[in-house]
Amino acid sequence: MTEFHLNTRLRQTLPRGRVTATRPAGCPTIALHLFDPAVLEGPLSQDEARAVQVAPAYWSFCWASGQVLAQYLLDNPGLVKGKRVIDVGCGSGIVAIAAAIAGAREAVACDLDPDALTATAANAALNGVEVSLCPNWQQRPGHFDIVTAADVLYDRDNLPLVEDFARAAPSVLLADSRMRDFTHPAYQLLATHEARTWPDLHEFEEFNTVRIFGSGEAAGEAGFAGTSQENQLQQPLDRQYR
């Protein structure tokens, strides 16, 4: 998979779009083919802005949470070393690539957007690692030791996944910059970091604060205060967010 293929896909939504290999400031170890802001000599036309809104090429940006979670895995390789890891909502693939670099037995990148999987394959090759691809969490291949997900809660329809992840795997790491008030009894706040979408979308400052939440083994003993994970998950998630 080459830049040519990614450019072809990007131009479905942004005819003057182009990707370029770059290293996000929040996780500079990893190189990614991302949107090249140099092509934008002026603001987007109305048609371009509409096309981007209708079918955003999320994979052509590296989101703040992806950078922070990828760096977290590189700094704490024991979380994934020797394990089967699945990253849900992989976008550019940065978190799955970080898991592979950190020594995961298998790193699987999952995204509903086929172009994200194409970009992930290209980015894995760019970094010299192997990442397997999966088009849908519901169709994941087998059992995983750890689930990761970065910036997928912008879509509130994904909230039930949080609970699903905790039931499906002994360990979950969730990074989010979109839900300021996220709490769930199975998840514990592990770290807070600042990062910006790369290339920078000049979003609201509040979207530059990333929180990492852990569930199960990733959260350590303290996360459950003596209560079983099963018990903590008994209250339906939608009730907890009201």
Ligand X SMILES: C[S@@+](CC[C@H](N)C(=O)[O-])C[C@H]1O[C@@H](n2cnc3c(N)ncnc32)[C@H](O)[C@@H]1O
Work out how close the CB of 195 gets to ligand X at its nearest, in angstroms, rounded to a whole number: 10
Which ranges in 94-141 belong to alpha helices (H)?
Answer: 94-101, 114-126
Work out how close the CB of 140 gets to ligand X at its nearest, in angstroms, rounded to a whole number: 10
How far apart CA 71 and CA 29 sit, in angstroms, is 8
- Give yes or no for residue 115 binding ligand X (CB under 6 A): no
For 190-210, b/e burial (b = at least 16 CB within 10 A) is bbebebbbbbeeeeeeebbbb
When binding is defined by CB under 6 A, the residue of 10, 73, 80, 110 that contacts ligand X is 110
User: Which structure tokens are listed for 54?
Assistant: 């209708």
Per CB under 6 A, the segment of 44-52, 87-95, 203-211, 231-239 that binds ligand X is: 87-95
User: Which structure tokens are listed for 203?
Assistant: 């979003």
How far apart CA 163 and CA 42 sit, in angstroms, is 43
- Give yes or no for residue 214 binding ligand X (CB under 6 A): no
Residue 218 makes CB contacts below 8 A (sequence gap 6+) with 79, 146, 171, 172, 173, 190
Work out how close the CB of 211 gets to ligand X at its nearest, in angstroms, rounded to a whole number: 13
Q: In the range 37-66, which residues lie near ligand X by CB under 6 A? A: 58-59, 62-63, 65-66
Amino acid at 119: A
Amino acid at 50: R
Work out how close the CB of 42 gets to ligand X at its nearest, in angstroms, rounded to a whole number: 25
Work out how close the CB of 89 gets to ligand X at its nearest, in angstroms, rounded to a whole number: 3
- Give yes or no for residue 71 binding ligand X (CB under 6 A): no
- Give yes or no for residue 36 binding ligand X (CB under 6 A): no
Query: Which residues form the interface with ligand X (CB under 6 A)?
Result: 58-59, 62-63, 65-66, 88-92, 94-95, 110-113, 116, 137, 150-152, 154-155, 158
